[in-house]
């Protein structure tokens, strides 16, 4: 079992819709969770982080964390074509390493 | 504030050679982590340096090594290059030790091709 798992996609949504990206992790002791966005040919860019159970909102982005289910998600409201990218979920394990999922490719169609 | 700077941007080497990659963290950041990114394996953790000491290491062979200088700049070295070492090597810096919930900020990476 991989430490951090994501659906690879591609996930295709129409412009203006809500995109929902999901991630599960295996280390029950993990405390810190991150979402990075990576455009093709570019490096990962931090867009959200969450440490506590529940929701955290920042503009059009909402991160949701459920530690009991070992599940973290990212919602993108009013999706725009410029949101088309690969979204990487990252989790610190108890060994102190930031482990990345394989990423979910998002495509927002005009 | 300048971001994380990695040099060189592109590198072409042949099997058996060695290579050194450089990373300058964001000013004030004391921790540098290195990752390898390939289409098949995704982002994989190589190692982390803080206060000139390796604090954490991923599952890579001893051919991969690194160091950190007193100004927090870091170098990564790969000896006896293999074809499978072709990848994007990313450096990330954080204010304090990674693993304590610190946010990592990535550089543009060095694209290494081994022929």
Tens of pLDDT along A77-86? Answer: 999 999 999 9
Cβ-count burial of B51 within 10 angstroms (0-12 exposed, 13-18 middle, 19+ buried)? exposed
Which of A58 and B99 is assigned the larger pLDDT?
A58
Q: Which of residues 46-75 of A touch B (CB under 8 A)?
A: 46, 49, 51
Determine the residue of chain A that is closest to B5 in CA distance. A43
pLDDT digits (tens, 9 = 90+) for B67-92: 999 999 999 999 999 999 999 999 99
CB B3 within 8 A of CB B26: yes
Residue B77: helix, strand or coil by DSSP? strand
Measured between beta carbons, the chain A residues lying within 8 angstroms of B55 are: 96
Residues making up chain B, counted from first to last:
115
Across the interface, do B104 and A49 touch by the CB < 8 Å criterion? no
Residue B99 has pLDDT above 80, yes or no: no
Q: Which residues contact B82 (CB under 8 A, 6 or more apart)?
A: B15, B114
In order, the DSSP letters of A23-85 are EEES-TT---EEEEEE-TTS--EEEEEE-SSEEEEETTEEEEEETTTTEEEEEESS--GGG-E
pLDDT digits (tens, 9 = 90+) for A17-63: 999 999 999 999 999 999 999 999 999 999 999 999 999 999 999 99
Residue B98: helix, strand or coil by DSSP? coil
What confidence score (pLDDT) does residue B101 get? 84
**Residue B84 per-residue DSSP state:** G
Structure tokens at A61: 């982005």
Provide the percentage of residues in chain B whose pLDDT is more than 70.
100
pLDDT digits (tens, 9 = 90+) for B1-41: 789 999 999 999 999 999 999 999 999 999 999 999 999 89
């Amino acid at each position: 079992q991989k430490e951090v798992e994501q659906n690879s996609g591609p996930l295709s949504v129409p412009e203006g819709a809500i995109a929902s990206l999901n991630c599960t992790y295996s280390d029950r002791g993990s405390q810190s969770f991150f979402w990075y966005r990576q455009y093709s040919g570019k490096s990962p860019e931090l867009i959200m982080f969450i440490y506590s159970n529940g929701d955290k909102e920042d503009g059009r982005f909402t991160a949701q964390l459920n530690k009991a289910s070992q599940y973290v998600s990212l919602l993108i409201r009013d999706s725009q074509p410029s949101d088309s990218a690969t979204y990487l979920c990252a989790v610190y394990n108890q060994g102190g390493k930031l482990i990345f999922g394989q990423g979910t490719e998002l495509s927002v169609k005009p | 504030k300048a971001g994380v700077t990695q040099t060189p941007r592109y590198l072409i080497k042949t099997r058996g050679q060695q290579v050194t990659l450089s990373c300058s963290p964001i000013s004030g950041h004391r921790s540098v982590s290195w990752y390898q990114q390939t289409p098949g394996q995704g982002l994989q953790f190589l190692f982390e340096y803080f206060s000139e000491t390796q604090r954490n290491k991923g599952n890579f062979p001893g051919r991969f090594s690194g160091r950190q200088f007193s100004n927090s700049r870091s170098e990564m070295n790969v000896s006896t290059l293999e074809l499978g070492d072709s990848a994007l090597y990313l450096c990330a810096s954080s204010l304090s030790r990674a693993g304590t919930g610190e946010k990592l900020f990535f550089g543009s990476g060095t694209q290494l091709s081994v022929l």
